[in-house]
């Protein structure tokens, strides 16, 4: 039988007839790119039974309508590790046939096959002990990131048993790289992703370490209050830990920094990057810095009165999040380029002076400028690229009409954010939209300016293949970045997505364009649009009434004579492929702050230089994935790969740059 097929037995059965099924009992080690490996033999999955402590849980939980069962035969149990589970599998361990399998036939014939004490089959797996613990000391941990994984040299052997024999188990094993290549970040920076408590101690599980300046880092100014240190409290993080500072208030001249002595760094141009989060209404003047080159988190017009003199600034253009609204603490990519001269040190980190948007200094318990940060990186580049991380609204203001919906539907300034119903001025839709709940208003927490756009169908589902768009002609040929801010309701993602489409003079050659879906790949298993080149921002969606918009981005090549069409697409199909009906408004959205920027000549941007890509694109939600070539071989260093096609987070990405 071929896998995934059925066989029909056309037979009149009588007593004592026997049907014998012979299965392929080969032992296989299966790789999940960027996550780990597991072992299976024949039809069974095998797992490591974690030593456990099992106690009856009689607690009544108010948020679960109680947990204590009325039936004494169905008790609630608390099961926690009572022995080691921190094991990883070597990258070189790929041949399942080399594993030793013990089959105890007497146990198969005489006992219950899924009794852990008498498991009839055991597979011996060579592993190495790694630094890995419970999340926060109490919760189920994520798989540790291979790029920051620390393993002991010694190999030991553990027994795997059928999955059904276990209650507390380790099934997918982290992969221990065969060898670790040192890149510039690891050579020049100490503890760049805040994983270490000291030179030897990894903060496994992201246990909160409050009022501790992270190992390897220094600060300037008085640390007011007790809210700073490292923990795991972020939706996107690189490894187990992030760093946060929430001072009350921030002092003038605050820095979290490291200094690279001139004796350790060669003269040249460097790209310094990190992930950063700011509270949408308390951004202050928080910024990434490298010497006197800085990047502010928000848009240029937010810093008219609190920008610092003496620095060369770019602006990332992010809206910021809300610490009380899910998804919490989605960090964004920040980047600065800096030229280091002969005999010059490089000082880098985060600056935040506690200066409010109106130019006054925060006082008392005002936490203006507080931040979360992770994943500092440094690499040497040949030149500062056109996509230097700056939001740069020059082309946007010249070519787009009403890109941030500051005009009402009649084209008049809507400075008060008053509700103006209808198709936004300068934009087009491709259908008759049901109801009248669409237009522009001020109902968005992290809006750019005074207004956002919204489309929410009433008494009918979202129209199929809905499109809100505008078209831009007379663009110079090249590679363009299209960005916006977008909010979609949690549980009603539909197939809402940002899109950009290059339309040639001959419509017969027209492509469907590039899109970025708001959620994760698994949210769109059966409703993606064929012919589109898609990516996924990885957001979970927000609650109705809590409109924190998230950053979206696509890149597209535009040839000479082509028209660039951009906007939002949505439709009435759920991720399971079912079409919505009735009052189901799946796919409704709020959008704001559309931007376009020419970032290079025609050709795909290098992965490392997509400066405003969501950290989710690196992490698949939490942890960064490894990079693989098309033969499935892991690329140990992202900084040393030739041109070609690579796979990260199960997506093909083209690398156009030779390192």
List, for residues 382-433, the tens digit of each pLDDT value: 999 877 888 999 999 999 999 999 999 999 999 999 999 999 999 999 999 9
Which pLDDT score is estimated for 333? 93
Lowest mean pLDDT among 26-40, 480-494, 505-519: 505-519
Q: Which two tokens stand for residue 176?
A: 């221990």
Rounded-to-integer distance, Cα 212 and Cα 197, Å: 9
The SS3 of residue 586 is: coil
The DSSP annotation for 428-464 comes to EESS--SSS-EEEES--TT-STT-EEEE--SSSPPPT
Which pLDDT score is estimated for 471? 96
Lowest mean pLDDT among 425-429, 612-616, 655-659: 655-659
Lowest mean pLDDT among 168-172, 219-223, 248-252, 522-526: 522-526
Cα angle, residue 174 at apex, residues 169 and 180 outer, rounded to 5°: 160
| 319 contacts 551 by C-beta, under 8 angstroms | yes
Lowest mean pLDDT among 10-24, 62-76, 84-98, 585-599: 62-76
The SS3 of residue 362 is: coil
pLDDT band at residue 505, thresholds of 50, 70 and 90?
confident
DSSP code at position 211: T
Domain ranges of the chain: 27-50+85-176, 184-381, 396-604, 625-659
The SS3 of residue 28 is: strand
Torsion of CA 42, 44, 47, 52, to 10 degrees: -150
The DSSP annotation for 48-111 comes to EE--EEEEE--PPPGGGT----SSTTS--EEEEE-S---EEEETT---GGGSEEEE-HHHHHHS
User: What superfamily does domain 184-381 belong to in CATH?
Assistant: Galactose-binding domain-like (2.60.120.260)
Rounded-to-integer distance, Cα 524 and Cα 570, Å: 12
Residue whose entry in the numeric block shows the structure tokens 């919906």: 405
CATH architecture of the domain formed by 396-604? Sandwich (2.60)
Q: Which two tokens stand for residue 239?
A: 């490894």
Q: What mean pLDDT is reported for the chain?
A: 87
Which pLDDT score is estimated for 216? 97
The SS3 of residue 619 is: helix
| pLDDT of 211 higher than 60 | yes
Pairing of strands 371-381, 428-429: unpaired
| pLDDT of 63 higher than 60 | no
| pLDDT of 491 higher than 60 | yes
Q: What is the mean pLDDT of residues 162-187?
A: 87
pLDDT band at residue 134, thresholds of 50, 70 and 90?
confident
Which pLDDT score is estimated for 613? 47
Rounded-to-integer distance, Cα 453 and Cα 447, Å: 10
| 545 contacts 444 by C-beta, under 8 angstroms | no
Which contiguous run of DSSP H or E holds residue 186? helix 184-188
Rounded-to-integer distance, Cα 56 and Cα 59, Å: 9
Lowest mean pLDDT among 49-63, 380-394, 542-556: 49-63
pLDDT band at residue 69, thresholds of 50, 70 and 90?
low
Q: What is the SS3 assignment for 138-156? A: CECCCCCCHHHCCEEEEEE
| pLDDT tens-digit readout, 566-575 | 999 999 999 8
The SS3 of residue 312 is: strand
Residue whose entry in the numeric block shows the structure tokens 């990190």: 274
Prior bond to 327 cis, omega within 30? yes
Torsion angles phi and psi, residue 290, rounded to 5: -140, 105
Q: What is the mean pLDDT of residues 481-490?
A: 96
Rounded-to-integer distance, Cα 81 and Cα 52, Å: 4
| pLDDT of 614 higher than 80 | no
Which pLDDT score is estimated for 229? 98
Same fold, 184-381 and 396-604: yes
Rounded-to-integer distance, Cα 593 and Cα 601, Å: 24
pLDDT band at residue 562, thresholds of 50, 70 and 90?
very high
Of the two residues 220 and 74, the one the predictor is more confident about is 220
pLDDT band at residue 334, thresholds of 50, 70 and 90?
very high
DSSP code at position 493: -
Edge-to-edge strands, sheet with 268-278: 209-210, 228-231, 242-245, 371-381, 268-278, 332-340
State percent of the chain over pLDDT 90. Answer: 65
| Other beta carbons within 10 Å of 48 | 22
Torsion angles phi and psi, residue 185, rounded to 5: -60, -50
| pLDDT of 616 higher than 70 | no
Which pLDDT score is estimated for 609? 35
| 238 contacts 174 by C-beta, under 8 angstroms | no
Rounded-to-integer distance, Cα 12 and Cα 463, Å: 54
| pLDDT of 635 higher than 80 | no
Highest mean pLDDT: which range of 234-238, 380-384, 483-487: 483-487
Q: What is the mean pLDDT of residues 490-502?
A: 95
Residue whose entry in the numeric block shows the structure tokens 């300046």: 213
Pairing of strands 151-162, 44-49: antiparallel
pLDDT band at residue 104, thresholds of 50, 70 and 90?
confident
Q: What is the mean pLDDT of residues 217-223?
A: 97
| Other beta carbons within 10 Å of 223 | 17
| 575 contacts 523 by C-beta, under 8 angstroms | yes
């Amino acid at each position: 039988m071929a896998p995934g097929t059925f066989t029909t037995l056309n037979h009149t059965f009588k007593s004592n007839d026997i049907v014998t099924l012979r299965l392929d009992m080969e032992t296989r080690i299966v790789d999940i790119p960027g996550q780990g490996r597991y072992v299976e033999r024949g039809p069974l999955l095998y797992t490591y039974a974690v030593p456990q402590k099992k106690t009856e849980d009689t607690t009544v939980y108010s948020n679960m309508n109680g947990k204590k069962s009325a039936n004494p035969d169905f008790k609630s149990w608390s099961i926690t590790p009572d022995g080691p589970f921190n094991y990883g599998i070597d990258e070189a361990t790929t041949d399942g046939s080399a594993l030793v399998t013990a089959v105890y036939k007497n146990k198969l014939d005489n006992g219950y096959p899924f009794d852990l004490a008498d498991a009839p089959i055991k597979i011996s797996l060579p592993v190495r002990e790694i630094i890995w613990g419970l999340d926060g000391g109490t919760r189920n941990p994520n798989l540790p990131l291979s790029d920051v994984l620390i393993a002991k040299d010694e190999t030991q052997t553990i027994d795997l048993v059928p999955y059904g024999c276990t209650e507390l188990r380790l099934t997918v094993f982290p992969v221990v790289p065969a060898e670790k290549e040192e890149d510039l970040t690891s050579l020049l920076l100490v503890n760049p992703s805040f994983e270490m408590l000291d030179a030897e101690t990894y903060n496994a599980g992201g246990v909160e370490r409050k009022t501790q300046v992270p190992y390897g880092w220094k600060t300037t100014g008085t640390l007011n209050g007790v809210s700073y240190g490292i923990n795991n409290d972020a939706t996107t993080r690189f490894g187990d830990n992030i760093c946060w500072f929430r001072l009350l208030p921030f002092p003038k001249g605050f820095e979290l920094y490291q200094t690279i002595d001139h004796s350790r760094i060669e003269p040249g141009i460097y790209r310094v990057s990190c992930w950063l989060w700011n509270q949408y209404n308390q951004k202050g003047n928080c910024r990434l810095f490298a010497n006197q080159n800085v990047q502010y988190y928000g848009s240029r017009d937010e810093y008219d009165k609190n920008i610092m003199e003496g620095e060369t600034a770019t602006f990332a253009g992010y809206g910021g999040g809300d610490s009380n609204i899910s998804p919490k603490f989605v960090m964004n990519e920040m980047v600065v380029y800096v030229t280091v001269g002969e005999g010059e040190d490089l000082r880098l980190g985060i600056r935040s002076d506690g200066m409010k948007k109106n130019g006054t200094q925060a006082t008392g318990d005002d936490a203006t400028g507080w931040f979360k940060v992770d994943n500092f990186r440094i690499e040497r580049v040949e030149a500062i690229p056109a996509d230097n991380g700056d939001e740069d609204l020059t082309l946007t203001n010249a070519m787009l009409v009403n890109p941030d919906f500051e005009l009402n539907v009649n084209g008049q300034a809507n400075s008060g954010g008053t509700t103006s119903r209808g198709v936004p001025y300068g934009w087009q839709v491709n259908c008759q939209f049901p109801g009248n709940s669409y237009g522009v208003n001020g109902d968005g927490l992290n809006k750019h300016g005074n207004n956002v756009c919204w489309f929410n169908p009433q008494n009918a589902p979202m129209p199929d293949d809905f499109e809100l768009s505008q078209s831009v002609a007379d663009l110079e040929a090249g590679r363009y970045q299209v960005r916006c801010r977008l909010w979609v309701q949690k549980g009603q993602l539909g197939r809402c997505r940002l899109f950009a489409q290059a339309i040639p003079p001959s419509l017969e050659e027209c492509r469907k364009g590039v899109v970025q879906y708001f959620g994760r790949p698994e949210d769109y298993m059966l409703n993606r649009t064929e012919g589109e080149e898609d990516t996924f921002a990885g957001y979970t969606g927000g609650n109705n009434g809590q409109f924190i918009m998230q950053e979206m981005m696509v890149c597209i090549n535009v040839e000479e004579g082509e028209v660039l069409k951009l906007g939002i697409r949505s439709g009435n199909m759920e991720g399971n492929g079912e079409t919505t009906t009735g009052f189901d408004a799946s796919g409704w959205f709020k959008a704001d702050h559309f931007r376009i920027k020419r970032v290079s000549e025609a050709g795909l941007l290098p992965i490392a230089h997509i400066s405003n890509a969501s950290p989710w694109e690196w992490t698949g939600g939490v942890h960064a994935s490894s990079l693989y070539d098309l033969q499935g071989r892991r690329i140990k260093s992202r900084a040393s790969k030739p041109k070609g096609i690579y796979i990260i987070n199960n997506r093909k990405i083209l690398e156009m740059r030779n390192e």
